[in-house]
Amino acid sequence: MYTPPKTMLHAVRGDITRLKIDVIVNAANTSLLGGGGVDGAIHRAAGPELLAECRALGGCATGESKITHGYLLPARFVIHTVGPVWHGGSHNEDDLLASCYRNSLQLALSHQLQSIAFPAISCGVYGFPLKRAVAIAVKEVRAFLASEPGEAFREIVFCCFDEQALIAYEIETRQFGESPDA
Q: Which residues are catalytic?
A: 39
**Strand ranges (DSSP E) for 2-133?**
8-13, 23-28, 65-69, 77-82, 115-118
Residue range at the interface with ligand AR6 (CB under 6 A); choices 31-39, 47-55, 61-69, 167-175: 31-39
CB nearer to ligand AR6: give 77 or 161: 161
**Strand ranges (DSSP E) for the chain?**
8-13, 23-28, 65-69, 77-82, 115-118, 155-160
Q: Whats the size of the chain, residue-wise?
A: 182
CB nearer to ligand AR6: give 25 or 152: 25
35 makes contact with ligand AR6 (CB under 6 A): yes
165 makes contact with ligand AR6 (CB under 6 A): yes
The residue from 161, 168, 172, 173 that contacts ligand AR6 (CB under 6 A) is 161
CB nearer to ligand AR6: give 7 or 122: 122
Strands of the sheet with 115-118, listed across from one edge:
8-13, 155-160, 115-118, 23-28, 77-82, 65-69
Site for ligand AR6 in 61-100 (CB under 6 A): 83
What is the DSSP code (8-state) at residue 42?
A: H
Contact positions toward ligand AR6, by CB under 6 A? 15-17, 27-29, 35-39, 41, 83, 119-126, 159, 161-162, 165
